[in-house]
A and B are shown apart, each in its own frame.
Chain A
Amino acid sequence: AQSVTQPDIHITVSEGASLELRCNYSYGATPYLFWYVQSPGQGLQLLLKYFSGDTLVQGIKGFEAEFKRSQSSFNLRKPSVHWSDAAEYFCAVGPGTASKLTFGTGTRLQVTL
């Protein structure tokens, strides 16, 4: 069965510092991988996705993620965090039955000024 682990429940970084959010997955074939962001009280917004090809993918809002098959990881990075990046971030893997996605439990990012 597919699964996603986001080992960090809560991360705090200073504005302007770099960011890396970890995501490890378990999947029986080549995975489709996603990162989503959720601001308080809102729906999830797709940041980026990986299907195949270049293992470093660029997304919106200056985020990027790197797929490492040998480590079963898909970590999200940003070189310089802005206060508006404070939110919850979810990693997801698929597809499962009926094209379902499996989501991690999320990492809450706090940005200090």
Chain B
Amino acid sequence: SQTIHQWPATLVQPVGSPLSLECTVEGTSNPNLYWYRQAAGRGLQLLFYSVGIGQISSEVPQNLSASRPQDRQFILSSKKLLLSDSGFYLCAWRTSGSGYEQYFGPGTRLTVT
């Protein structure tokens, strides 16, 4: 069966510090991968998606970036965090070529202080 992991679960970082969040998927190959952000009391905002290794599409211009160095690994990064980067970050995957449902990881709670 497929599983999705996110690391770390919780993170507190000062403004201006770098960021690296990791998402890995097991039990599937060539998935589509997605990064979302939820601000407090808000819905889901799609940040990035990837349909293959090295292929990243950005939905919202901001100081975040994403990379996909391996088929089942998706990384969200920032060189300098802003207060507005605080939120709950969710990674999701779907199997390419099948139904369009996405499956979500447990999320990372990021607080920028």
CB distance from A52 to the nearest CB of B (A): 11
* Contact residue among B42, B49, B109 (Cβ-Cβ distance under 8 Å from A98): B49
Contact B100 A46 (CB under 8 A): no
Do A46 and B94 contact each other (CB < 8 Å), given the known contacts A90-B44, A98-B32? no
Q: Which residues of A contact B46 (CB under 8 A)?
A: 100
Q: Which residues of A contact B96 (CB under 8 A)?
A: 99
- What CA separation (Å) do A46 and B105 show in the bound complex? 12
* A34 interfacial contact with B, CB 8 Å: yes
Interface bracket on A: 20 to 34
| Chain B window 33-64, contacts with chain A (Cβ cutoff 8 Å), 1 for yes, 0 for no | 01000000011101001010000010000000
Contact A43 B32 (CB under 8 A): no
- What CA separation (Å) do A34 and B44 show in the bound complex? 14
Stretch at the interface among A62-70, A74-82, A103-111: A103-111
Q: Which residues of B contact A94 (CB under 8 A)?
A: 100
CB distance from B34 to the nearest CB of A (A): 8
Contact B100 A95 (CB under 8 A): yes
Q: Which residues of A contact B34 (CB under 8 A)?
A: 100
Do A49 and B105 contact each other (CB < 8 Å), given the known contacts A44-B90, A105-B43, A106-B43? no
Q: Which residues of B contact A34 (CB under 8 A)?
A: 101
Contact A42 B106 (CB under 8 A): yes
Q: Which residues of A contact B100 (CB under 8 A)?
A: 32, 94-95, 99, 101
* B27 interfacial contact with A, CB 8 Å: no
CB distance from B89 to the nearest CB of A (A): 10
| Chain B window 77-113, contacts with chain A (Cβ cutoff 8 Å), 1 for yes, 0 for no | 0000000000010101010100111111111010000
Q: Which residues of B contact A32 (CB under 8 A)?
A: 99-101
Q: Which residues of B contact A (CB under 8 A)?
A: 32, 34, 42-44, 46, 49, 51, 57, 88, 90, 92, 94, 96, 99-107, 109
